[in-house]
Copies of this chain bind each other. A is one copy, B any other.
């Protein structure tokens, strides 16, 4: 395994992975007009999203694919090729790689599976491919990997139709295509704001070390979220790089294969061997300053939180829920995440009294439900937000949002939420069911920088990670 960190050129443009994210010419080998197979979307996404580079479909049985002239093989293409994306059956990959060598392509991304993860035969073929590429100085991602995505130039290699995405500062490293079935959901419903994504698969050549090194340098990447099942090599170089990276930007890590059953499954699907116990990984990752998460849900939640908001400087939390019972559970969650319940100043309390139900109530957690039985919903939300904006004794607000009914002034709500973000006052909202909410309000709030989660616990856990990161 070559560990290629150039200590002389530390720019991202000087890193070999830059070609993978910013290719000027791409050959898609295995491009097809058959809409019933996953591979169809490899080319159609590039066409639909108007990727500005040159794109060459390679398919010996088609004259054109998705309206672009097709070529029978890589060597038939006239122009030079920065990146060849290979998605053909495993047995055909060696021949395609030979063509890539002959064509002097700069880099290859091998999507096809069927190599080291399948046993001795597959391992042998993979080693041959690696040797062929290495001998000719061609770097390779995969095989058994769907890579890459770069929103800056709409370069999206995916098996799913991608119609839109939100650009942002979050970059992912995956060791598997597990994000694929949820790509549209992540972009649309969940609202992630993406910079780059790389799936490493069998890590024949490019490893998490390379990916982390590039993203660590990349100025567009503010937050790195990293899924891994194994570490290449003995891990020391990786942990050293991780430590350096976490001094610059947060790195959220989902290390799966924690249990004997999980480790066996990891070994069988990428061919990697899990050498260390989970406890060893746990200590090493934490010592390197990474934010380790327990599962995929927490992975995406924290990735979102760190991309949306700066670290929290204090731990005084304010909770507002639609029922007192939910306030109890939110208080439990806040306590568990290291928060203390914030106290309103006397001036704030005077403002809040205007939305009291006519009797004394708890003001943290605040029961929006009892208040809104006596005052218009809009006024209840506006009063909470306006008061929070002016209160100096609170570090964050978690607000239960109900946008689908009884809300006559949604614009004002959006404006107040956005204003909180502008002033650096942390806020996170949650809804019971995204699909039932007013999508415009949700989208406008997120566009204004207010992250929305699907439960109080999840919103609080995300803010809790920002607080742990903030206190260092």
Contacts and interface: CB of A to CB of B under 8 A. Distances in A.
B181 A432 contact: yes
Interface in A207-266: 227, 229, 256-262, 264-266
B402 A269 contact: no
Interface stretch (A55-63, A171-179, A347-355, A383-391): A171-179
Given A185-B436, A189-B435, A295 B328 contact: no
Contact of A256 (B122, B269, B295, B328): B328
Contacts of A270: 324
A324 B269 contact: yes
B359 A325 contact: no
Interface string A352-382: 0000011111100101011011001000000
Interface in A309-334: 322-334
Contacts of A455: 295-297
A36 interface: yes
A376 B36 CA distance: 9
A297 B360 CA distance: 31
B262 A176 contact: no
Contacts of A90: 358-359
A400 B257 CA distance: 19
A176 B229 CA distance: 43
A49 interface: no
Contacts of A113: 357, 370, 373
Interface in A159-204: 174-178, 180-182, 184-185, 189
Contact of A327 (B269, B296, B433): B269
A284 interface: no
Given A38-B373, A323-B180, A367-B269, A264 B331 contact: yes
A178 B373 contact: no
A332 B256 contact: yes
Contacts of A296: 326, 329, 455, 457
A118 interface: yes
A332 B178 CA distance: 15
Given A113-B357, A323-B178, A185 B328 contact: no
Nearest to A183: B432
Contacts of A362: 265, 268-269
B323 A176 contact: yes
A14 interface: no
Given A89-B358, A174-B325, A370-B113, A181 B402 contact: yes
A296 B229 CA distance: 30
B432 A434 contact: no
Contacts of A262: 328-329, 331-332, 335
Contact of A335 (B37, B227, B261, B376): B261
B265 A328 contact: yes
A282 to B, nearest CB: 13
Nearest to A377: B36
A85 to B, nearest CB: 15
A184 B404 CA distance: 12
A227 B365 CA distance: 19
A180 B322 contact: yes
18 contacts: A36-B406, A114-B357, A117-B324, A118-B360, A119-B360, A122-B359, A176-B324, A180-B323, A189-B435, A189-B436, A229-B328, A256-B325, A260-B335, A261-B341, A265-B324, A269-B327, A296-B329, A434-B435
Listed from nearest, the 10 A-B pairs whose CB atoms lie closest are A176-B325, A269-B324, A262-B332, A178-B325, A259-B335, A268-B362, A261-B335, A435-B435, A118-B359, A265-B331
